[in-house]
Amino acid sequence: MQGRLFRVSPALGGGTIVAKVTPYPDLPQRVRRRYILYSETAGTVPLGYSAYVSGEGASQPWRRISGTSLSEGDVVRIAGTMGEVLYRRGSDHNTLLVTERCNCSCEMCVQPPRTSDDRTLLADLHRAITLFAKDTTVLGISGGEPTLLRGELVRLLRWLRSYLPATRLHLLSNARLFRYRRFAADVGKATDNMLTVGVPLNSDVPRLHDEIAGSQHAFDETVRGVLNLHRHGIAVEIRVVLTRSIVARIEGIAGFIRRNLPFACHVAFMGMETVGNAAANVDRLWVDPADFVDRLESAVGILRVAGIPTSIYNLQLCLLPRSLWRVARRSISDWKVEYLPVCLGCAQRHACCGFFGTDGMRASRAIAQITE
């Protein structure tokens, strides 16, 4: 559908703008600075909006947008000529990127760490959050590694709970810093049972997990962190990315979760998205799902017996035995998803996750049309 990033033609003034999109040129003066006026045609200029964006090129202050289109209720940030949709109204796939720093360097990372100006990022996000629709059902928080923000993450979570009391929060984290009990307690207190933390687990063998995460002691710290999260009433989801080395021990991982992390609220087996580090290492990491679906089926079976809700993300239905369809989800964000030509006549296309549109995602040799 639409990407998150876009460009706009230069403005007269400078400064970063965080505001909500409206198509209405006649909002009350006093509230206009919260809004960006967005119009297909660049017409008259009602004063007071924080920016004027249009699909067509026109004279200042109108700025031409390219790369995406905007809708009423979206919240965007514009810095110079770069724009980003921070929030899509009505989408269940909104994610706040809160830092680009990380304390791991996983070989399959889709968003390799970079230094980032977190202070500015956070200030913009705090402002943006006050503009999100109150009926937002779920919101993701991701990085980098969000826990590196420490106290600032606690403040952000409290802010989210304050402004979006009905919204479930989902934090992606390697949970290593939650080994500090006090930090886990503070996060628990700030989020009142509305937070789930999604934690990647690469192996049931510490040394293998650490190698994949590119960091020593990662396994030990992650497991201790997960136990602390549970201790403080925070729901934990375990995420297992299906790379070659991880798949090699997939049943062992399921067994480890069953025995040691039986409180996990959800386990997700995730087909690889080949961007970032994963793209650089794709030949070493990628394994055709057709070569492991039988072991995946048995791993899912182990978790079913343990009563742990389980899902499969990013694997197309035609690769999976029908017994696994009930756990296969349409997991690819609405703004990324694509289908192959062969999918055109597929009877199950409506129920299938499709493919990542942002990468040259490898298609399994077993991709085929389903006729019923």
From the list 161, 232, 349, 362, which residue makes contact with other proteins (rule: CB under 8 A)? Answer: 161
Residue selected from 13, 15, 44, 134 as contacting other proteins according to rule CB under 8 A: 134
- Site for other proteins (CB under 8 A): how many residues? 22
Among 3, 24, 82, 342, binds other proteins (CB under 8 A): 24
- Contact segment (CB under 8 A) with other proteins among 79-87, 151-159, 283-291, 352-360 equals 151-159
Residue 11, number of CB atoms within 10 A of its CB: 18
Is residue 103 a contact point for other proteins (CB under 8 A)? no
Tokens of 37: 């006026």
Nearer to other proteins, 135 or 334 (CB): 135
Residue from 15, 28, 307, 341 binding other proteins (CB under 8 A): 28
Residue indicated by tokens 């793209």: 279
Q: Compute the least distance from the CB of residue 195 to other proteins, in Å.
A: 15
Residue 120: helix, strand or coil by DSSP?
Answer: helix
Compute the chain's Rg from CA coordinates: 22
State the minimum distance, in angstroms, from the CB of residue 35 to other proteins. 9
Structure tokens at 141: 């928080």
Phi–psi pair at 52, nearest 5 degrees: -125, 115
Other CB atoms within a 10 A radius of the CB of residue 24 amount to 12
Could you tell me where the DSSP H helices lie in the chain?
118-129, 151-163, 181-191, 206-213, 218-231, 244-247, 250-260, 277-280, 282-285, 293-305
The residue within the footprint of other proteins, chosen from 1, 5, 29, 82 (CB under 8 A), is 29
162 part of the interface to other proteins, by CB under 8 A? yes
Instruction: Name which position in 2, 159, 301, 348 contacts other proteins (CB under 8 A).
Output: 159
Considering the complex, what minimum distance in angstroms separates the CB of residue 351 from other proteins?
33
Q: Write out the H or E segment, with its range, that includes residue 356.
A: strand 355-356
Contact window for other proteins (CB under 8 A) among 161-169, 178-186, 205-213, 245-253: 161-169
Can residue 283 be called a binding residue for other proteins (CB under 8 A)?
A: no
Q: Is 30 in the site for other proteins (CB under 8 A)?
A: yes
Nearest 5°: phi and psi at 63? -125, 135
Contact flag: residue 90 with other proteins (CB under 8 A): no
Smaller CB distance to other proteins: residue 116 or 130? 130
Task: Give the nearer residue to other proteins in terms of CB position, either 53 or 361.
Answer: 53
- Number of other CB atoms surrounding residue 214 within 10 Å: 15
Residue (69 or 358) nearer to other proteins, CB = 69
Omega within 30 of 0 (cis) for the link into 146: no
Positions 303 through 342 that interact with other proteins (CB under 8 A): none
User: Which residue, 189 or 365, has its beta carbon nearer to other proteins?
Assistant: 189
In 10 A of CB 61, how many CB atoms?
16
With contacts defined by CB under 8 A, name the span among 113-121, 139-147, 160-168, 286-294 that binds other proteins. 160-168
Beta-carbon contacts of 117 under 8 Å, excluding residues fewer than 6 positions away, are none
For residue 339, what are the contacts with CB-CB under 8 A and spacing of at least 6? 349, 352, 354, 355
Q: Which is nearer to other proteins, 23 or 262 (CB)?
A: 23
If one asks whether residue 72 binds other proteins (CB under 8 A), the answer comes out as: yes
How far is the C-alpha of 270 from the C-alpha of 288, rounded, in Å? 13
Q: Minimum distance from CB of 92 to other proteins (Å)? A: 19
DSSP conformation letters of 205-231: SHHHHHHHHTSTTHHHHHHHHHHHHHH
Interface with other proteins (CB under 8 A)? 22-24, 26-31, 34, 72-73, 130, 134, 155, 158-159, 161-163, 165, 189
